Each structure stands twice: as structure tokens, then as C-alpha cells.
Structure 1
Amino acid sequence: MTETPWKLTAAEGELQILTGVGGPAAKMGHRLTIAFASWQAEVQWRGDEPATARLVVDVDSLQVLKGEGGVTPLTGPEKGVVRSNALKSLDAKKFPTITFVAEDINATPGGYRLGGTVEIHGTSRPHSVDLAVEDAGDTWVMTTSTAVVQSRFGVKPYSLFIGTLKVDDEVTLRFTARHAK
């Protein structure tokens, strides 16, 4: 039996990045929740099992959802500045996409381990994620959370005041999607 490829987009889920804040002035900064509004994933099947998966993210679709902490709340104009700084750090004009290609997929209790390659800022590195899959009646719900170290991909985390306030090098990527059965 060969199954039709699954195609998922932001209409079926969320792709977010959660940042921390570091440096001596960390209390002044915000822990950010950033979302990508445009992404697509495709899963190829071999019989009843996923064989490969590919995720392509449009970097320019980055949106700052919220900032927690800090001395004052993160305002709308400040979100625009944060977005601009993030796009500069990611060099979005030169590297307009982030990709993850998994060609080694193995069943685990409660889901799958996806082993593959992630490419950010033109740099590719091996990466594995544990994807939880839940039967929600008429849909499958897939979730994962994984850490990514920006500097391993040539991305310099944004900083202010000569590094006394900076985005943590390690960020957390959180993915959730639903697919109809």
C-alpha cells in the first residue's frame, strides 16, 4: 500500500521559536515568542510508515508574537524593531528559507524520531527531533520541541549595550500540526 504524501502548512499548525535573554542586564530584556506565518511540510510514505519528511520555512514570514519579562511591556513598534533585528541576524535576504529534511524516520513509543539535516543561514548540520503523534479522533496531532544553537549555523545572536543584554544562543523551536485522517 502506498499512501498519498501529507502536505501541511501554517493553516494546519504552528511553528514558533522561544528565546531566552542573557548578559548582566538580562532583567531588562524580553523572552520572546516568535512565529513563522509561512511554512510547508511534506511527508512521503512507504506503506503505512513515514519514509521522509521535509519542512521549508519562509524566514521573511517571521512575526514577534510576545515578549515576557523586561522592565516594560513589549510594544507594537518594539516588536517591529525586534523583527527587523531578527531578519538581519538571519540575513533573510541572502538566506530566505530554513529547511529540515528527515530521511531517517523510526517509530518510537508515542511517535517517531526524525533524523536528518537542518539548514539555517546557509549552514547545514545533522539534527534529530522526537515527534509525538496523538490520535485525536478524526485527526492526528503532531508536536515536537527541540533546541537549536544559533551560532552553530553562523547566526550571531542579537545583543545590545556591548553584549550586556543579548538573546541566548540556544533557542527552542516548537512545532504543532494537525492532519485529518
Structure 2
Amino acid sequence: MAWTLDPSHGELLLTTGVTGPASAMGHRLTIAMTAWRATVNWSGDAPSAVELTVDVDSLEVLRGDGGVKGLTGVEKGLARSNALKSLDVKRYPHIRFSTEDVSAVDGGYRLAGTLEIHGRSRPRSVDLHVEDLGQTWLMTCDASVSHAEFGVKPYSLMMGAMKVADEVAVSFRAEHAKD
């Protein structure tokens, strides 16, 4: 048996920080990845493999917190363009996470596998919390990813006085009907 999850089941959000001497001028962005697909393979009553593929070009800037003034629609578009350039979307159109091991932990599962971003693969483990909501299962996960670990140069302004922080927070939330 296999489950397929996509944005109709939930959301995949990224939150960036700002660093540098002029960081108070910058925005902490909340970004949605609007095109992704996860496949969960089952062995009996337990998940045995998970694969997630994200279309980098689906990046959508939802909002910017902080900064001198609010983030306009034009500025959201510019932030999206800068992020896609940093991620080199034409050369690396997908982000992938695939498991080699799924093990039960208190409150869910530990997914151990490989994360591929910007053409670089690194081992990664994340804990997926699973909650029984009656008719559905709620799955949530929070993690962080380092730009530097994957060779991504964060966007910067003013000769580096303000730049996107190295760590990006990743939040996943999805619901799946019980079979």
C-alpha cells in the first residue's frame, strides 16, 4: 500500500532569518512551496519508505515580518526572484528527500535518509509527529536546513551588511484520511 500526499493535503513552509549589521532593515520571509509530492510506502501497519519531491519554481513568498516597512507585492516578487537565483532553479529544479530507514519513535516516526538541494546530497534525519484526529492522521515536522551545507549562497544587500541567515526553518503539515 502507498499514500500520496500533495498540497491538497497540507503545506510545506520555509521561514528565513536576516543577519548582518543592517539586519533590522530586512524581512524575515515566510515562503510556501506550492508544488510538492510525497509518497509513503507501507509494510503492514507501518511506513517503510518516504520520498518527497519539491518543485523549486513553486516557491511563493507569503509575507515578510520585520523590516523598516511592510513587504509589497513587487518586493515579494523580487524576493522570489532572488531566492530562485540563489537556488539556481534552472539547473536544480527539484529538492528531494528520500528515506533509507523509517523507525517508530515516541509520537511518530524518525525518517533517516538523504536530502538533495542544489545538486548536493547530505544525510538527514527528521522526526515526523503523527496525531490521530479520528477520521484523519495529522503529520507534522519541523526542521532546519543550512544554505552553506548545500552550497547555496544566501542573498545579500549592501555588500553583505544585510543578508539572509544561513539557517532556514522548514515546517511540514499534512492530513491523510484513514484507510
TM surpasses 0.5: yes
Confirm whether residue 108 of structure 1 aligns to residue 105 of structure 2. yes
- For residue 48 of structure 1, the aligned residue among 40, 45, 50 is 45
Give the AA of the match of 2:88: D
Partners of 2:159 and 2:83 in 1: CA distance: 17
Partners of 2:79 and 2:60 in 1: CA distance: 9
Partner residue in 2 for 1:59: 56
Give the AA of the match of 2:80: R
Q: CA RMSD in A?
A: 0.5
Structure 2: gaps (5+ residues): none
Partners of 2:162 and 2:129 in 1: CA distance: 35
SS at the partner of 1:79?
Answer: helix
Structure 1: gaps (5+ residues): none
- For residue 77 of structure 1, the aligned residue among 74, 79, 82 is 74
Q: CA deviation at 1:151?
A: 1.1
SS at the partner of 1:11?
Answer: coil
Q: CA deviation at 1:102?
A: 1.0
Partner residue in 2 for 1:177: 174
**Equivalent residues, number:** 178
- For residue 13 of structure 1, the aligned residue among 2, 10, 13 is 10
TM-score by length of 1: 0.98
Identity of aligned residues (%): 60
Please give the residue correspondences for 1:88-127 in structure 2 after superposition, counting only pairs within 5 Å: 88-127=85-124
Q: CA deviation at 1:103?
A: 1.9
